[in-house]
């Protein structure tokens, strides 16, 4: 789970998927697009949080130096996809609620 290709590859893939749906501007899919963007951002946040929590359990057994030697990156880099996911989730829920208010 802490392999760099997995720990950073999945968030990069989710961000690319997010961008694909972000640029779909067809009015026919506008209602569903915001919901799909919210789902992707929530999954990004959840996945990144699970990876970060697992890295903390590994650090209970190993030192930070051993962690960096074993996995090739610092544990602090795991904050980047987590923070991006949190920001996108908050932004999407705000925009989703605004979209629902306009329809009422």
Q: What are residue 85's phi and psi, to 5 degrees?
A: -65, -40
61-94 tens-digit pLDDT: 999 999 999 999 999 999 999 999 999 999 999 9
pLDDT of 29 higher than 80: no
Cβ(32)–Cβ(3) below 8 Å: no
Cβ(31)–Cβ(25) below 8 Å: no
The answer, as to whether pTM is greater than 0.85, is: yes
So what's the pLDDT on residue 88?
96
């Amino acid at each position: 789970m802490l392999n760099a290709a997995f720990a950073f590859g999945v968030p990069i893939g989710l961000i690319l998927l997010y961008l694909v749906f972000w640029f779909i501007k067809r009015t026919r899919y506008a209602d569903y697009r915001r919901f799909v963007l919210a789902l992707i951002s929530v999954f990004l946040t959840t996945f990144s949080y699970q990876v970060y929590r697992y890295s903390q359990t590994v650090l209970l057994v190993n030192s930070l130096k051993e962690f960096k030697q074993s996995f090739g990156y610092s544990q602090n880099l795991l904050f980047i996809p987590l923070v991006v996911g949190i920001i996108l989730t908050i932004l999407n829920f705000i925009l989703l609620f605004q979209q629902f208010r306009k329809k009422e």
